[in-house]
Amino acid sequence: MDYSSGIGRGIGVSSDLDSNLSLLGKALHIQESADVVVREFSIGGRLRAALVFIEGMVDRRTVNADILQPLLDPATRALTARKPMVERFQKAFPAALARPEGNLRRVVSGVMNGSAAVLIDGMDCALLVDATGVQHRPVAEPSTERVVLGPHEAFVESLKVNVPLVRRILKTPDLVCSKFEIGDITKTQVIVFHIEGIANPRLVREVKRRISSIKVDYMAETGLLDQLIDVPRFGLVPHALYTERPDRLAAHLAEGYVGIMVDHSPYGLIVPATILTFFHSAEDYYVRWPAGTLLRLIRMLALFTTILLPGLYVSVVNYHHEMLPTTIAWAFAASRESVPIPSVGEVLIAEIALDFIREAGVRVPSPVGPTIGIVGALLIGEAAVNASLLTPEVVIVVAITAICNFIIPNQDAAFFERILRYLFAFAASLMGFLGLAAAFFVIGVYLCSLRSFGVPFMAPLLPFKMRPDTLVRGPLQTMETRPDFLRPATRTRQLPISRGWSRQRWSPGGWRRRGAGGRDDNE
């Protein structure tokens, strides 16, 4: 349903000022809305004119200095010779950007987006002057993707700030920003980024097709758009990568990905998303490649630890006592002697209590949040052990899984791992290691069946293709091609010898030195 007004799509701006103000008054509900401002004045004492804007959406100084002052200037009388009127009045605005608009429906849309509409009697179009003055927070440091090395800029809730942040990094005319408007009530602007000549045209068309086909009333955040363009398959696995860093979005665009940004949201979306993109961080590329590789391996170890450790504990305690050394087995048995709850019940109670504390720490005011998280975990854990509700081993296991979950750099992936942790613990309580293996197989088959905008979710692991930027991070000079699974229009990213001062290149056989004739010296 369209709530934009009672104005039809084909109704144009009339040359009669009173008729235009009457239609705009009904569309903008001027009589009921206290923030809709209509100022009538005369130009040169001869022409009637009106200025329509929304209080708080425009900058008062821009309205006074760049719109009203030029039009009320006595020198503007020369503009009343209506030949040609539109071009003459556009020249009256020296600093502001004015564009003519002949469709009354689009005039209403422009006013709602923060422009000021200038209507002049006898002129069959309106002048929309960009006078946006909506307040937004300044560019600050990222809150969820912090790095030690690298830029410390994050997106804000304004597209007029976010788009230049990306363009400042990608200074190429091939960066295309396509604009869409979603939401019959919100009229939210959505920007789709891609680099022409690099991104796969079919991928770009598919993203635009999904976005343009969305018909909803309310759209105000990136998370809502992500759910509407995602192909539902239980909705467990995210199919788009969230980022609040302009440098990370720009780096993925240069690889052939497509970026999406929604007005009023400080997060961007990167599509398609594969399993490895959720475990890569921007800092992986700002440090030397051995350190970047170590960071990735630590995240992989943390991934398997956070989803499997509770299930392994339940399996060993219930079914596979022989896996433990005798002294540890006796210690486990002694600590569990006074606990009446089964091991899987202990794990679930501890995990749920930890989730309670984590959510409480997020919702309460920021000065109190860390205190609740630390003190609550210590007090509850200590009290539960003393009350013989939990064993110390369960508290240690749950604490380790929580720490490993925080290592994952993507929030969506961390939520999915929290769900898997419960599933694996329940499967281990049924059949031990066999239950873990069965659950692992089912989850693996499910992940292999997923596709993100036509790209297999498990790429490039299945089928595995060794690249310098897959599980490990190779030297920058070895990253010569873009990912194959994206099918980019331009596959080559850099020359085989990207460092002009060096005559060495990397090949699967090791480092080779280029001879003067362009051949390998080892050939």
Work out the mean pLDDT of the chain and round it to a whole number.
Answer: 82
| Cα–Cα separations (whole angstroms), residue 417 to 71, 397, 411 | 62, 15, 10
* Listed range (2-6, 44-48, 230-234, 359-363) with the worst mean pLDDT: 2-6
User: Which pLDDT band, with edges at 50, 70 and 90, does 246 fall under?
Assistant: very high
Comparing C-alpha atoms, which of 304, 291, 292 is closest to residue 470?
292
Instruction: Quick: pLDDT tens for 480-490.
Output: 888 888 889 88
Instruction: Quick: pLDDT tens for 228-245.
Output: 988 766 678 888 999 999
Q: In the structure encoding, which two tokens stand for residue 340, read together?
A: 């009446």
The residue written with tokens 């499967």 in the block is 427
**DSSP notation for 451-496:** EETTEETTTTTTTT---TBSSSB--GGG--B--GGG--S--B-S-S
Q: In the structure encoding, which two tokens stand for residue 290, read together?
A: 């051995």
Query: Stretch 39-59: mean pLDDT, rounded?
Result: 83
Residues 326/329/330/333 CA torsion (nearest 10 deg): -160
Q: In the structure encoding, which two tokens stand for residue 10, read together?
A: 């084909």
pLDDT of 366 reads 65
* 46 in Cβ contact with 77 (< 8 Å): yes
98 pairs with which residues across the strands?
Answer: 129
101 pairs with which residues across the strands?
Answer: 126
Q: Residue 66 pLDDT more than 80? A: no
d(Cα 459, Cα 515) in Å, to the nearest integer? 36
pLDDT of 200 reads 93
C-alpha neighbours within 13 Å on the C-beta side of residue 339: 23
Instruction: Quick: pLDDT tens for 220-230.
Output: 889 889 889 88
d(Cα 140, Cα 117) in Å, to the nearest integer? 33
d(Cα 474, Cα 374) in Å, to the nearest integer? 38
Note the residue count of the chain. Answer: 523
**DSSP notation for 134-182:** ---PPP---SSS--SSS------S-HHHHHHHHHTT---TTEEEEEEEE
* 511 in Cβ contact with 522 (< 8 Å): no
Q: Residue 462 pLDDT more than 80? A: no
d(Cα 13, Cα 148) in Å, to the nearest integer? 55
Exposure letters 45-62 (e unless 16+ CB within 10 A, then b)? eebebbbbbbeebbbeeb
Instruction: Quick: pLDDT tens for 370-384.
Output: 666 666 666 677 777
Within 10 angstroms of residue 362's Cβ, the number of other Cβ atoms is 11
pLDDT of 214 reads 92
Within 10 angstroms of residue 42's Cβ, the number of other Cβ atoms is 12
Question: What is the separation of C-alpha 471 from the centre of its chain, rounded to a whole number of angstroms?
Answer: 23
Q: In the structure encoding, which two tokens stand for residue 188, read together?
A: 């939210």
Q: How far apart are the first and last CA of the chain?
A: 70
Q: Residue 145 carries which side chain, given as an amino acid letter?
A: E
ω into 84 cis (within 30 of 0): yes
Close Cβ partners of 193 (under 8 Å, ≥ 6 residues apart): 166, 175, 176, 177, 249, 253, 258, 259, 260, 261
Query: Stretch 242-265: mean pLDDT, rounded?
Result: 93
CA angle 93, 96, 101 (to 5 degrees): 80
Query: In what order do the strands lie in the sheet containing 188-195?
Result: 175-182, 188-195, 258-262, 268-271, 241-243
* Listed range (413-422, 455-464, 496-505) with the worst mean pLDDT: 496-505
What are the phi and psi torsion angles at 54 (to 5°)?
-110, 125
pLDDT of 373 reads 62
Within 10 angstroms of residue 346's Cβ, the number of other Cβ atoms is 25
Instruction: Quick: pLDDT tens for 433-447.
Output: 999 999 999 999 998
Question: What is the separation of C-alpha 381 from the centre of its chain, rounded to a whole number of angstroms?
Answer: 36
Query: Stretch 121-141: mean pLDDT, rounded?
Result: 81
Q: pTM of the entire structure?
A: 0.82
Instruction: Quick: pLDDT tens for 72-105.
Output: 776 655 554 444 566 666 666 655 567 888 888 8
3-state secondary structure of 412: helix
* 198 in Cβ contact with 263 (< 8 Å): no
d(Cα 21, Cα 317) in Å, to the nearest integer? 78
